[in-house]
Structure 1
Amino acid sequence: MSEDNESHLVANRECGECTACCVELLIDDKDFKKPAEQACENLMETGGCKIYQHRPSVCQEWYCAWRFMGQLDESWRPDRSGIMLRSDENGIIFQPIQNPREVLIRDRAIELIGGGVAQGIPMSLSIPTKSGFRSYGLSLNEPLEEAVASRNLVVIQDKLLELIDFAASQNTSPIPILEV
């Protein structure tokens, strides 16, 4: 990540003991490969990276959205919230790292998702399907628009659960086996 991009990180916010990106993400870079949903070979049992000072650039340059979003408190750190937030050119992706039916319907998740939908910020889910298979990506804005407009927590939770169940039931391709 360039120094300019690093300047967008929330001051004094560190990953701490969180290792979600070291486990959950697929890394298929020319200099480094790691399968999704498997701990990186450099992740120490006590947390942290064995090669931190010399880790690949793909690891040095990636941060979850929690590191950028100043409005989120410490409870949103992925290992605490059970959700890894990722940002890309298409908005914010909610990737649950704990049970999606629990973590995605908590009040704080509903507030963030609903607020984004209401403001027209693209929001999406990346929901696990079967073990060993890719997650299913699902845009939330259109399917949640009516529920969010109702401003009724139960209505929004019910719709989100319906979307989570739909995504989890989809047939996706196997997670690729990477040659390391």
Structure 2
Amino acid sequence: MDNKLLVENRECGEFTACCVELTIEDPDLVKLPGVKCKNLHKSGGCKIYNERPKTCRDWYCMWRFMPQLSNEWRPDLKGVMIKRVFNNIPPGYEGKIALNFEIIGKKSAIHDMDFFEVLGGYIVQGFPCFISTSKPRRAANMVLLNNKLLPLYETRNLELLKSTLSDALNHSAKQHSDLLSIKDGKVISKSSGLF
């Protein structure tokens, strides 16, 4: 997304989950998801911040672009990193921004009323929304939420919504995901040789 769309005066601060959670495949740095970047100080912050790779300079989670989200939605505080999704968008959602609500903290974050409202707002507006959780060195397994949750938002069935959301997150956690590794400066799946 265009950096001109970043929310004014909103900064990441000492937040460093990107330095752990992201897959980075840059000519200057290759890193697996869920693994701390080799340039991350033990006390936080980047050892090479001023010379960090282009991927690190250009990537922002969606919290940085969404003015409707409060500061409490900063990923380290909420335990949820909202990422824009570009691949595997299901038919019928063409032209919409797809969002993945990746749980990076406690799973209980999905039962927060604020989480329900924000997620529901995007689902009701027709944005494809996914949920995921991941394990170190494995790609996140995203589960599409729209079809299951839209009727529950429309009927305001909070208990069934909580249960269905928990089931989706558990499904993401239990899905088999190939172990990733780095070979010749590329992130590859050990089973297929491709990421």
With structure 2 as the length reference, what TM-score do the two structures score? 0.83
* Match of residue 45, structure 1, among 39, 42, 46: 42
Q: Is the aligned partner of 1:149 residue 2:154? A: yes
Whole-angstrom CA distance in 2 between matches of 1:75 and 1:178: 38
Give the alignment of 1:84-99 within 5 angstroms: 84-89=81-86, 90-99=97-106
Which residue matches 2:33? 36
2: CA distance, partners of 1:158 / 1:95:
18
Backbone CA RMSD of aligned residues: 1.7
Match of 2:143 among 130, 138, 147: 138
Deviation at 1:150, TM superposition (A): 1.4
Identical amino acids, percent of aligned pairs = 38
Judge conservation of contact 1:34–1:178 (CA < 8 Å) in 2: no
Amino acid in the other structure paired with 1:97: I
State the SS of the aligned residue for 2:182: coil
Shifted more, 133-142 versus 67-76: the winner is 133-142
How high is the TM-score relative to the length of structure 1?
0.90
Q: How far does residue 179 in structure 1 lie from its aligned partner after superposition?
A: 5.1
Structure 2 counterparts to residues 1-180 of structure 1, below 5 A:
5-89=2-86, 90-100=97-107, 102-128=108-134, 132-178=137-183
8 Å CA contact retained: 1:147, 1:159: no
How many angstroms does 1:126 deviate by? 2.1
CA deviation after TM superposition for structure 1 residue 178, in Å: 5.0
Q: Distance in 1 between matches of 2:184 and 2:41?
A: 22
Q: Structure 2: which 5+ runs fail to align?
A: 87-96, 186-195
Shift in CA distance, 131/60, structure 1 to aligned 2, threshold 3 Å: closer
